[in-house]
Structure 1
């Protein structure tokens, strides 16, 4: 009851590398649990800094009251609560340091006591990538595409490429665009190492034009894809960075979100569109509705998936990684973490 464990990033990453299909399944099932009201996922909280408006640290509290299969008698069995505390500092890129850093704290639902702390930048990237690939599967309709466009050559798009590979996607061509040519070359090289035929683009238009599937994974703070013809009818767009697409384009497209109320917040592209046009008629529904067959999209307009990112996904993936980590001896016990375990 009073045990406390820590799991570092290298161990978390090692487990992710061998468990991507299982993580994908966890994300899919958690979306369905969220859809049927079996999760607790309040709004995220943003800590901002007046002298650095592009930087923020976000708290994502959540709970999964349902017992996960295979929990057994482990701490957190019968459900888990927790919080991801994730910093996003775009200025880190100039130092060749990842933009995001994070920890995930897991709490026992019966006592409220925390029982584990995991390095969570890897978890956050993995659940984001799994969510993106689920969205791609639902929007595109298969795991085969002629052209994949990757816009933004960072940690998130790298993870998305790795999940595409682990889930046996195939592309005739993968084109990578980034405003920093060196990053684009490294991303294309990584895609090539995964077995994808990849190249860098000559520009944004070169990457996106004719692409069946577009991944937007940048650090953009404001929309820059504004041309009404920038996205084609029937094109599937993963709006992972959330703020790349102008409101007019959003309103002219089919839009699928992970959670409607969560996504209409914090200046996301769908949020800006609702603010500009005063309605949300252009929002078709959620990815869970697509999975369940409750929602069908035409190919008369671009199809855009905008996942705001739910804390329950971090909990589900973190709990699964902790379970596997325990089995493989990759978790460190912290003896006497709690100073008092009796009231008297």
Structure 2
């Protein structure tokens, strides 16, 4: 009852790297459970810094009734883009999981990898659902060549989404080159660096940047799919011209995301066509003559689903580190 485990990043990474298809299924299931009202997913909480407007630390609390267990928890994730210039990853995170019978914490997991994996899996879930209506051509353009972009590309490839030609653009040319090399060497696909227009020419586009405000005003083409993971790359006019798919409408309409800016411009949410869960279930389909813009704000319940899977795997493998007597008092008197 009072056990407490720690799962270090190296262990987390190994489990995630061998489990991409399973994680995609877990994330899809979590979306459907969220759509069915079997989760609690309050707003994310942002700790911001007046002298560092591009940096933040975010708390994502959540609870979920998963297939095998009920669990609660919170992800505490820092995004400091300035780390990149020092050769450090932009994001760092931990995930605390809680038992829902007692409320006691049961584990602490290094969670930057978990966060990247659940983000990539959400993109793969959406891409798979949209592909039923917009057949992928195999050309994938990526804006922003960091960990998230690398993980998304890997998940798309490993789950069978066509990816024969990849074009990468990043303001840092070295990063773009490294992601292109990863695609060639690790995934065995053709890849090259390109400018923004070359990326936007692709049938499937992934934006994974740290942009604070929109800079892309080029409309989506009919038959084009954009996975708008970084959320702030497209002007509201582009949003209004697309079929818009969100993970959770209420969550996405804040923090000046591209859909939020479109809401501010129009005063309504009529431009939202449905959620990822509704497209997975076939309850919504893309509008004829429009490209599809998927904007996933990111739900804490996805972190719980992936985190619980990682914890169970680590416990089975004997790689979770038990912390004896973690709790100072285990009886009331």
Q: Return the TM-score normalized by structure 1.
A: 0.94
Residue pairs, 1:24-39, within 5 angstroms: 24-39=24-39
Cα distance in 2 for residues equivalent to 1:67 and 1:92:
35
Cα distance in 2 for residues equivalent to 1:299 and 1:148:
22
CA contact (8 A) 2:167 2:180 kept: yes
Q: Deviations over 1:27-73 (max 9, x none)?
A: 00000000000000000000000110111100000001x2533xxxx
Cα distance in 2 for residues equivalent to 1:282 and 1:208:
22
Residue pairs, 1:20-169, within 5 angstroms: 20-64=20-64, 66-69=65-68, 78-141=69-132, 144-169=136-161
Aligned with 1:308: secondary structure?
Answer: coil
Which 5+ residue runs of structure 1 have no aligned equivalent? Answer: 70-77
Which 5+ residue runs of structure 2 have no aligned equivalent? Answer: none
Residue of 255, 260, 272 corresponding to 1:283: 272
> In the alignment, what sits opposite 1:199?
192
Post-superposition, which runs of at least 4 consecutive aligned residues in structure 1 deviate over 3 A?
none
Residue of 160, 166, 177 corresponding to 1:185: 177
> In the alignment, what sits opposite 2:3?
3
Residue pairs, 1:200-215, within 5 angstroms: 200-201=193-194, 203-209=195-201, 211-215=202-206
Cα distance in 2 for residues equivalent to 1:226 and 1:206:
15
Cα distance in 1 for residues equivalent to 2:2 and 2:82:
39
CA contact (8 A) 1:87 1:101 kept: yes
Report how far residue 206 of structure 1 moved: 1.4
Task: Please tell me whether residue 330 in structure 1 is matched to residue 316 in structure 2.
Answer: no
CA contact (8 A) 1:143 1:169 kept: no
Cα distance in 1 for residues equivalent to 2:138 and 2:33:
33
Report how far residue 93 of structure 1 moved: 1.0
Residue of 240, 264, 269 corresponding to 2:258: 269
Q: Deviations over 1:317-338 (max 9, x none)?
A: 0000110111111100001100
Cα distance in 1 for residues equivalent to 2:290 and 2:33:
29
CA contact (8 A) 1:259 1:286 kept: yes
Report how far residue 144 of structure 1 moved: 4.7
Root mean square deviation of aligned Cα: 1.2
Task: Please tell me whether residue 175 in structure 1 is matched to residue 164 in structure 2.
Answer: no
> In the alignment, what sits opposite 1:74?
none
Report how far residue 204 of structure 1 moved: 0.2
CA contact (8 A) 1:102 1:120 kept: yes
Task: Please tell me whether residue 305 in structure 1 is matched to residue 294 in structure 2.
Answer: yes
Aligned with 1:164: secondary structure?
Answer: helix
CA contact (8 A) 2:6 2:321 kept: yes
Aligned with 1:145: secondary structure?
Answer: coil
Aligned with 1:103: secondary structure?
Answer: strand
CA contact (8 A) 2:243 2:293 kept: yes
Q: Return the TM-score normalized by structure 2.
A: 0.97
Question: Is the deviation greater in 23-32 or in 137-146?
Answer: 137-146
Aligned with 2:163: secondary structure?
Answer: strand
Q: Deviations over 1:250-280 (max 9, x none)?
A: 0111100000000001111000110111111
Report how far residue 140 of structure 1 moved: 2.8
Report how far residue 208 of structure 1 moved: 1.2
Aligned with 1:81: secondary structure?
Answer: strand
Cα distance in 2 for residues equivalent to 1:146 and 1:112:
46
Residue of 214, 223, 227 corresponding to 1:238: 227
> In the alignment, what sits opposite 2:15?
15
Change (3 A) 1:247 1:144: closer
